[in-house]
Amino acid sequence: MAFTHQHLLGLEGLSRDEILFLIDTADSFKEISERDIKKVPTLRGKTVVGLFYEASTRTRTSFEIAAKRLSADYVSIASSTSSSTKGETLLDTARNIAAMRPDCLVIRHNASGAPHFLAQRIDCPVVNAGDGAHEHPTQALLDLLTIRDHVKRLDDLTVAIVGDILHSRVTRSNVHALKALGARVRLVGPPTLLPAEAAAWGEVHNDLHDGVRNADVIMMLRLQRERQGRNFLPSLDEYSRYFCLTRAALSAAAPNAVVLHPGPINRGVEIASDVADGAESLIMDQVTNGVAVRMAVLFLLANRARQPSVEAPAVAAEPAEAPRLRRKAG
């Protein structure tokens, strides 16, 4: 098995074997972070650029740590300090970065489809570090690795994903992967935060207790208020009264159920502190595994020979804001 794609744009369209290969590769990188000297020469001489147009703590830091543990040079660009503040388009920024010959471009953008847009126009592997409400492939891979570490399987699992499903790129990547791996998916949230396509992804629940009943894995989500253009909820208090994962709600889940959250958590809104910090919580394990997953992805992509872009680069259009959810992983 090999990962033959030039980019990692999403998990949609990836096969079960490809997803397992990515997780297995990540697994093999874990022990480097346990060493006293956390560095191997695997990507020495390679350059990785992180281009972040949205806030990020875990994803951004772990891509940088991952690159450095593999001895790649890592350059981090935040939109607030880039020439986008002077009116430069995303494409022009990316073309200028590509002209400096990096071996991999990691991009986070609030526009769904931005990484796909660039992947077709620059001759450098592109990794999607979260695009709008569309996909966040490395997050789902680290979620799966964490589940497998603790539950010891990825098939015959019931996974309840709870919260702001509508705006969650974490959900979309997880749904594609979990379905490819044969897990049963439940989408749990108020009707206003469930997209029309949720019914095609899995079982839909508007009640937290019903949604988590006998679930093996509960994945809690933050309310993505930066993506909510209008009021989707009567009040935050009311939301947490019905959808906050408390110890009482958790008691409906399967006896050894585990709790995940991609972070950042809003304590007392979607998850109670004693659950976030409790024995069932794998939140810190997810963060640890994030480094291994990003090492694996950089290892597989930054070693690629440069390939010509699919399209001529003289395209001025910018990606649309509207989520484009049907694109194929590249």
Q: Which residues bind ligand ASP (CB under 6 A)?
A: 130, 136, 169-170, 222, 224, 262-263
Catalytic residue among 60, 69, 116, 136: 136
Catalytic residue among 85, 86, 230, 241: 86
Whether 187 and 219 have beta carbons less than 8 Å apart is answered as no
Residues 257, 253: Cα–Cα separation, whole Å: 6
Catalytic residue among 69, 108, 205, 222: 108
User: Which residue minimizes CB distance to ligand ASP?
Assistant: 222
Residues 164, 125: Cα–Cα separation, whole Å: 31
Q: Cβ 205 to ligand ASP, closest distance in Å?
A: 20
Q: Cβ 110 to ligand ASP, closest distance in Å?
A: 10
The smaller minimum CB distance to ligand ASP, of residues 25 and 168, is found at 168
The smaller minimum CB distance to ligand ASP, of residues 225 and 306, is found at 225
Q: What DSSP state is assigned to residue 132?
A: T
Closest CA to 301 of 42, 39, 59, 89: 42
Whether 121 and 311 have beta carbons less than 8 Å apart is answered as yes
Q: Cβ 294 to ligand ASP, closest distance in Å?
A: 14
Q: Cβ 270 to ligand ASP, closest distance in Å?
A: 9
The smaller minimum CB distance to ligand ASP, of residues 32 and 297, is found at 297
Whether 321 and 111 have beta carbons less than 8 Å apart is answered as yes
H/E segment holding residue 161: strand 158-162
Q: Is 86 a catalytic residue?
A: yes
The smaller minimum CB distance to ligand ASP, of residues 98 and 165, is found at 165
Catalytic residue among 59, 93, 158, 171: 59
Closest CA to 117 of 304, 320, 306: 320
Residues 260, 221: Cα–Cα separation, whole Å: 9
Residues 105, 301: Cα–Cα separation, whole Å: 10
Q: Cβ 24 to ligand ASP, closest distance in Å?
A: 24
Q: Is 108 a catalytic residue?
A: yes
The smaller minimum CB distance to ligand ASP, of residues 115 and 130, is found at 130
Give the other-Cβ count within 10 Å of 322's Cβ: 11
Cis bond upstream, residue 264 (ω within 30): yes
Catalytic residue list: 58-59, 86, 108, 136
